[in-house]
Amino acid sequence: MLIIDDDADIVALLSRYFGANGYRVLGASSAARARALVASETVELILLDLGLPDEDGLSLLRHLQTEWRGPVIVISGRGEAVERVVGLELGADDYVTKPFDLRELLARTRSVLRRSTAQAPAIEASAGLIFDGFRLDLGARRLTDAAGVEVALTTGEFELLKALLEKPRQVLSRDELMTRMHGRQAGPFDRSIDVSIGRLRRKIEHDPAEPRLIRSVRGAGYLFAAEVRNA
């Protein structure tokens, strides 16, 4: 685990707490140091503060989504809805505002790690699911298009797509999808599912503005409209 925060006291606090709970913890107080550690060390998960001295945390998050494969939980004092939405748009797997409860942060970390490292369960002895020319490899957690080109997915996007593909042509509520992605139900003002759906549409829809695969069902949730078959 890598903790990126310009506040040395927070890095020390989280290092002690997660270390006591069995995690190997690295710390970085700047984006430059974080980039160096990601390039040289094995990092399974990142806790990222947005207020860094040498680079905006959202810019670093954008870099991590293109150069590093792994879950990111944003921990930030920026609690405004627009900041949460932007962080989720850029691929964060969860967003926790300061001040946070250590036990809740640990629970969310464990939930994100379970989703990112768990072996995909067998679905009718299938290694993957095929839809509209795409193939979702459940073992490798990898999506490829009709030409065999990989479509990069975050941990949350993979879980969301998998949940939709497992129940095609059925309406799934936001709470059900939130539980699959984050291990918790959506709050009354939680837009993270809608943000993730929008991000996923941009990756698999021919025209994200007029989606034909992932359809919204007003007041109910979302429905995957295409045929899905086992690979």
* pLDDT reported for residue 30: 94
Going from the N-terminus, what domains does the chain have, and what CATH number goes with each?
2-117 (3.40.50.2300), 128-230 (1.10.10.10)
* pLDDT reported for residue 190: 54
Mean residue pLDDT across the chain: 85
* pLDDT reported for residue 79: 60
* pLDDT reported for residue 107: 93
* pLDDT reported for residue 124: 42
pTM for the predicted model, two decimal places: 0.56
Q: Are 68 and 101 contacting, i.e. CB atoms less than 8 angstroms apart?
A: no
pLDDT less than 70: residues of the chain: 78-83, 117-126, 182-191
* pLDDT reported for residue 82: 66
Cα separation values, 88 from 16, 94, 112, 180, 225, Å? 27, 7, 14, 16, 24
